[in-house]
Amino acid sequence: MTGRVRDLVLALLLAALAAAAGLGAHALLVDVRTPEPTVIGDRVQRAADAFAAGDHVYVAADAHDLLPPDAAARLEELAAGSEVPVRVAVWEDSTDAGYRGIWDAVGQLQRVADDEGVFVLYTGPGDGVVDDNLEGPLEGDIPSDFNGDPERRLSEIVTAVAASSEGPASDWSYWGGTGGAIAAGLLYGGVAIPVLLLVIGLVRLALGRRFRMVGGWT
């Protein structure tokens, strides 16, 4: 095997190692990247302001056909009696309201409200979401079906939340603790080695210089 072919083979092997290490690092990093938070829209802000003022149920001005004032008052009384904090927001579905979907909307609501609890968002028959930002897991069977009469369905959800409890906070870590974090650091550090060798190999190959290796190739 000539020196130039040998150098080319070695460079390709180094490139393969670098690619494998890069893919491994990317697989770890892609799961922990946090998307940029979207700008809070007026609809979410008004609901958050109502919750901050002490309300447990917020119905947008254009959504009283979904939940009339008398039904909202009954739901407010029910939610106020729950030991697990629960907030209910009702508004008409929209594709131009400052969020990318119903899950993004409830995420914004949790972020702006700056309070732990269970958040229920209802946007019409069959469309709604129940999510929480409690420190511990919510232990209970909470309905997730929003079909049927809005007041009855929302009342069932709030009643289920009131009958549930918050479990102990978890000390779960993405890296599996200190040892996992150290291992991840070593992995990231190891990525630099094959990349550096690849650069050196390609530079030497471009300059026509051979690698000095112990032994010979056959």
pLDDT, position 195: 66
Strand partners, 124: 127
| Confidence band, pLDDT 50/70/90 cuts, at residue 105 | confident
Residue 34, classed as helix, strand or coil, is: coil
Report the number of distinct structural domains present in the chain: 2
Tokens of 86: 């629960």
Q: Are residues 181 and 141 in the same domain?
A: no
Task: Domain of residue 161: give its range.
Answer: 42-166
Q: Are residues 60 and 154 in the same domain?
A: yes
Q: Are residues 27 and 125 in the same domain?
A: no
Tokens of 4: 């130039």
Q: Are residues 15 and 123 in the same domain?
A: no
The verdict on residue 50 lying in a domain is: yes
The verdict on residue 162 lying in a domain is: yes
Are the beta carbons of 37 and 99 closer than 8 angstroms?
Answer: no
The verdict on residue 140 lying in a domain is: yes
Is residue 194 over pLDDT 90?
no
Residues whose CB is less than 8 angstroms from the CB of residue 122 and which lie 6 or more positions away in sequence, other chains included: 66, 67, 88, 89, 90, 128, 146, 150, 154
The verdict on residue 218 lying in a domain is: no
Tens digit of each residue's pLDDT (9 = 90 or more) over 11-21? 555 555 555 55
Tens digit of each residue's pLDDT (9 = 90 or more) over 64-100? 999 999 999 999 999 999 999 999 999 987 665 556 6
pLDDT, position 187: 60
Q: Are residues 184 and 117 in the same domain?
A: no
